[in-house]
Amino acid sequence: MLLRPTFAGLLLAALTAPALAQPIPAPRDEPYPGTLRVEVDATDLDHKVFRVRETLAVKPGPLTLLFPRWIPGHHAPTEDVAKLAGLHMRTPAGDDLPWARNVTDTHAFHVEVPRGVSQLLVEYQHLSPVTPESGRTVMTREMLGLQWHSVLLYPAGHEVRRITVQPVLRLPAQWQSATALRPAGETKNGATEYQPVSLETLVDSPVFAGRYMKHVPLDDNAKAPVVLHVMADDAAQLAATDAQLAAHRALATQADRLFGARHFAHYDFLFALSESFGGIGLEHHQSSENGVKPGYFVKDWDKPSRERWLLPHEYVHSWNGKFRRPRDLWTPDYNQPMRDSLLWLYEGQTQYWGRVLAARSGLLNAEYSRQGLAQVAADYAHRAGRNWRSLQDTTNEGILSAHRGQRDWRSWQRSFDYYDEATLIWLDADTLIREKTNGQRSLDDFARAFFGVPSAEPPQAGQRPLGGPRSSEAASLGVNPIDGRVEPLLYGFDDIVRTLNGVAPHDWAKFLRERLDSRNGAAPLDGLARSGWKLVYTDQPSDTTQFAETEGKYHDFWFSLGVQVAADGKLQQVLWDSPAFRAGLSPAATLIAVNSQAFKPERLKAAVGANKDGSAPIELLLREGDGYRTVKIDYRGGLRYPKLERMADATDRLEAIFAPR
The 3-state secondary structure of 403-440 reads CCCCCCCHHHHCCCCCCHHHHHHHHHHHHHHHHHCCCC
Dihedral sign, Cα of residue 610, residue 611, residue 615, residue 617 = positive
Is 56 in contact with 37 (CB distance < 8 Å)? yes
Report the distance separating Cα 206 and Cα 150, nearest Å. Answer: 10
Residues 6+ apart with CB under 8 A from 125: 49, 50, 51, 52, 84, 85, 86
Residue 476 has pLDDT above 60, yes or no: no
Beta-bridge partners for 632: 619
pLDDT value at residue 594: 98
Pairing of strands 164-170, 84-90: unpaired
pLDDT value at residue 17: 53
Is 503 in contact with 441 (CB distance < 8 Å)? yes
- Sheet with 176-179, strands from edge to edge, namely 143-146, 207-210, 176-179
Q: What are the φ/ψ torsions at residue 198 (nearest 5 degrees)?
A: -70, 160
Q: Per-residue DSSP letters for 437-455?
A: TTTS--HHHHHHHHHSS-T
Domains 1-131+157-172 and 560-639 share a fold: no
Residues 6+ apart with CB under 8 A from 204: 72, 180, 284, 285, 286, 287, 322
pLDDT value at residue 465: 40
Report the distance separating Cα 534 and Cα 377, nearest Å. Answer: 10
Q: DSSP strand E in 370-487: where?
A: none
pLDDT value at residue 487: 85
Cα dihedral: 404, 409, 412, 416 (round 10): 50
Is 116 in contact with 91 (CB distance < 8 Å)? no
Confidence of residue 204 (pLDDT cuts 50, 70, 90): very high
Comparing CA positions, the residue from 274, 276, 275, 279 lying closest to residue 289 is: 279
Confidence of residue 403 (pLDDT cuts 50, 70, 90): low
Question: Domain spanning 1-131+157-172 has what CATH number?
Answer: 2.60.40
Q: What is the mean pLDDT of residues 576-594?
A: 97
pLDDT value at residue 80: 87
Beta-bridge partners for 96: 90
Report the distance separating Cα 354 and Cα 357, nearest Å. Answer: 5
In tens, the pLDDT along 335-352 reads 999 999 999 999 999 999
Residue 612 has pLDDT above 60, yes or no: yes
In tens, the pLDDT along 381-394 reads 999 999 999 999 99
Tell me how far the alpha carbon of residue 396 is from its chain's centroid: 15
pLDDT value at residue 402: 74
Residue 426 has pLDDT above 70, yes or no: yes
Which helix H or strand E contains 581, and what residues bound it?
helix 579-582
pLDDT value at residue 582: 97
Q: What is the mean pLDDT of residues 593-608?
A: 97
Average pLDDT, the chain: 92
pLDDT value at residue 190: 85
Residues 6+ apart with CB under 8 A from 446: 429, 433, 499, 500, 503
Is 515 in contact with 509 (CB distance < 8 Å)? no
Report the distance separating Cα 11 and Cα 13, nearest Å. Answer: 5
pLDDT value at residue 404: 65
Beta-bridge partners for 574: 563
Comparing CA positions, the residue from 481, 484, 488, 489 lying closest to residue 197 is: 484
Report the distance separating Cα 384 and Cα 582, nearest Å. Answer: 14
Poorest-pLDDT segment among 297-306, 318-327, 618-627: 297-306
Poorest-pLDDT segment among 263-267, 278-282, 439-443, 454-458: 454-458
Number of Cβ within 10 Å of residue 564's Cβ equals 21
Residue 288 has pLDDT above 80, yes or no: yes
Report the distance separating Cα 15 and Cα 343, nearest Å. Answer: 45
Residues 6+ apart with CB under 8 A from 101: 108, 109, 110
| Helix%, strand%, coil% for the chain, nearest 5 | 30, 25, 45
Residue 312 has pLDDT above 50, yes or no: yes
> Which has more confidence, 79 or 497?
497
Number of Cβ within 10 Å of residue 216's Cβ equals 16
CB-side exposure of 513: number of CA atoms within 13 Å? 7
pLDDT value at residue 381: 97
Confidence of residue 188 (pLDDT cuts 50, 70, 90): confident
Beta-bridge partners for 533: 646
List C-alpha distances in Å: 352 to 74, 287, 616.
19, 20, 43
- Sheet with 280-283, strands from edge to edge, namely 212-217, 226-232, 267-273, 287-292, 280-283
Buried (b) or exposed (e) across 283-292, using 16+ Cβ within 10 A? bbbbbbbbbb
Pairing of strands 489-491, 324-326: parallel
> Which has more confidence, 157 or 474?
157
Q: What is the mean pLDDT of residues 434-443?
A: 98
Comparing CA positions, the residue from 402, 660, 348 lying closest to residue 524 is: 348
Query: Residue 607 corresponds to which amino acid?
Result: A
Read off the pTM: 0.93
Is 7 in contact with 31 (CB distance < 8 Å)? no
Report the distance separating Cα 518 and Cα 514, nearest Å. Answer: 6
> Which has more confidence, 7 or 656?
656
Residue 276 has pLDDT above 90, yes or no: yes
Three-class SS state of 180: coil
Confidence of residue 5 (pLDDT cuts 50, 70, 90): very low
Poorest-pLDDT segment among 60-74, 448-462, 472-486, 496-510: 472-486
Residue 484 has pLDDT above 50, yes or no: no
Poorest-pLDDT segment among 78-82, 124-128, 263-267, 400-404: 400-404
Question: Domain spanning 560-639 has what CATH number?
Answer: 2.30.42.10
Confidence of residue 189 (pLDDT cuts 50, 70, 90): confident
Tell me how far the alpha carbon of residue 133 is from its chain's centroid: 21
Number of Cβ within 10 Å of residue 533's Cβ equals 24
Confidence of residue 21 (pLDDT cuts 50, 70, 90): low
Residue 217 has pLDDT above 90, yes or no: yes
Report the distance separating Cα 456 and Cα 468, nearest Å. Answer: 9
Q: What is the 3-state secondary structure (H, E, C) of 19-43?
A: HHHCCCCCCECCCCCCEEEEEEEEE
Three-class SS state of 94: coil
- The full set of domain ranges for the chain reads 1-131+157-172, 326-534+648-658, 560-639
Buried (b) or exposed (e) across 62-77, using 16+ Cβ within 10 A? ebbbbbbbbbbbebbb
Confidence of residue 185 (pLDDT cuts 50, 70, 90): confident
- Percentage of the chain with pLDDT > 70? 92
Residue 599 has pLDDT above 90, yes or no: yes
DSSP 8-state class, residue 238: G
Fold that domain 326-534+648-658 belongs to in CATH: Neutral Protease; domain 2 (1.10.390)
Dihedral sign, Cα of residue 493, residue 454, residue 359, residue 287 = negative
Residue 308 has pLDDT above 50, yes or no: yes
